[in-house]
Amino acid sequence: MTDAPVLSQRALNRTLLERQLLTRRTSHSALQVIEHLVAMQGQEPNWPYIGLWTRLIDFRKEELNSLLQDRKVVRSTMLRRTVHLAVADDFRWLRPTVQPIVSSALKAAFYAGEIEGLDLDELARVGRELLSGQTLTRQEFGRLLVERFPGRHGGRLAESVEIMVAMAHGPATGAWGRWGNPPRVPVTLAEEWNGRPMAASPEPETMIRRYLAAFGPATVMDIQAWSGLTRLREVVEGMRKQLRVLRDEEGRELFDLPGAPLADASQPVPVRFLPAFDNALLGHKDRSRVISDADRKRFAKVASGGVPMFLVDGFVQGTWSVQGSMLLLAPFRPLTEAETAAVLEEADSLLAFIALDAPERNIAFVDDEMVPVNRLHAGQRIRNKVS
């Protein structure tokens, strides 16, 4: 094992960007990209659109909206107990595989007080019965559940059932137009939405292989951080003979698919704007391959992946936010003239995607010193872009 090849941090960075489709935009379809990435975080509707725009040639918002409407992509709770988008066929096995982390939410005080004393199997059975053959908002679903379980909080009951039973969210909740969480979420039994039953058992080996294709090489801890699951070392050990073993500069053991390409550490990469919670930012326990520990600590209270960021030379160098037709850029440190030009060029393209019909679009550099990135400050540098 000591003879395992060692990969530098820059080699890991370039390999991650290659596998995340961030070194060059692809001509693949949005469906193919979502499938490759396994799942895209989609708690706030607009972010997956940005994640696809930054990876695809000529991506149009209508493409993802159609995939949701046509039920080819499912919006639901999955990895890390958060809302993601996944290809319908992948959701069938992915949700049962990550069900342990999803179910763990029921132990939180937020739910525990409202479901204490209930037979959870009975609650799940009743929930299935009430939802069968129809789509209801969580509020409507909760009111029906309270009729069967009087004296309980309808919202907590509805959410508890959704934790135990795989459901798909109505496509309107994933439509372009909101930077925040949708206020009302319609839910449907996932097997009815997909027209196929969910997988009968977890498929952790499938999940690990798919993860490595899009995020590898990676440690067991990386796989666990991405999925939210624990105790995966035994699974990986059982797969060891089917995997390639490498090491990072710290000596940590990395696993990868045999024959998966490794990028040249010297490979130049373009500026890229990433949405909040992007796969590339949240795919590892050790995220230093894309963001330094010092920069990550700037956002410890909101999680480093929970803020939209931009990459320069492959690494996070600042944050961005949008106010209408204004794009705000907050670099962590001074950019060179060439870096500034590259950032502004990509920012122009992003803003055109976000605010296509705006008669005037603006880009502003704002202060990074713990100032909220979604607030414009008078007197700071503004670059005007007229469409």
pLDDT of residue 368: 55
Q: What is the mean pLDDT of residues 104-114?
A: 83
More confident residue, 225 or 387: 225
Strand partners, 56: 26
Average pLDDT, the chain: 92
pLDDT of residue 360: 85
pLDDT exceeds 50 at position 255: yes
pLDDT of residue 385: 39
Would you state the torsion angle of the CA atoms of residues 23, 38, 286, 282, taken in this order, to the nearest 10 degrees? 80
- CA 142 to CA 158: how far, in whole Å? 5
pLDDT of residue 2: 55
- CA 199 to CA 176: how far, in whole Å? 30
pLDDT of residue 358: 79
pLDDT exceeds 90 at position 24: yes
pLDDT of residue 359: 78
Q: What is the mean pLDDT of residues 127-144?
A: 97
pLDDT exceeds 70 at position 30: yes
Instruction: Give the burial string for 24-53 (b: 16+ CB within 10 Å, else e).
Output: ebeeeebbebbbbbbbbbbbbbbbbbbbbb
Q: What is the mean pLDDT of residues 279-308?
A: 86
- Please report which confidence band the pLDDT of residue 179 belongs to, taking 50, 70 and 90 as the band edges: confident
- CA 74 to CA 95: how far, in whole Å? 11
Q: Which of 90-94, 175-179, 365-369: highest mean pLDDT? A: 90-94
Give residue-wise pLDDT tens across range 208-242. Answer: 999 999 999 999 999 999 999 999 999 999 999 99
pLDDT exceeds 50 at position 386: no
- Report angle CA 70, 74, 75 to the nearest 5 degrees: 125
- Please report which confidence band the pLDDT of residue 371 belongs to, taking 50, 70 and 90 as the band edges: very low
Q: What is the mean pLDDT of residues 335-345?
A: 97
Query: How far out from the chain centre does Cα 175 lie?
Result: 16
Phi/psi region, residue 327 (left: phi>0; alpha: psi -120 to 50; beta: rest), is beta
- Which residue from 142, 138, 165 is spatially nearest to 153, judged by alpha carbons? 142
- CA 44 to CA 185: how far, in whole Å? 12
Q: pLDDT > 90: what percent of the chain?
A: 83
Residue 245: both structure tokens together: 């073993």
pLDDT of residue 182: 84
- CA 299 to CA 29: how far, in whole Å? 33
Q: What is the mean pLDDT of residues 175-181?
A: 89
| CB hemisphere CA count around 132 (13 angstroms) | 7
Q: What is the mean pLDDT of residues 114-135?
A: 95
**So where are the chain's domains?**
24-194, 272-386
Per-position DSSP letters for 152-219, written without gaps between them? S-HHHHHHHHHHHS-EEE-GGGGSTT-SS--SS-EEEEHHHHHTSPPPSS--HHHHHHHHHHHH-SB-
- CA 144 to CA 319: how far, in whole Å? 43
- Please report which confidence band the pLDDT of residue 113 belongs to, taking 50, 70 and 90 as the band edges: confident
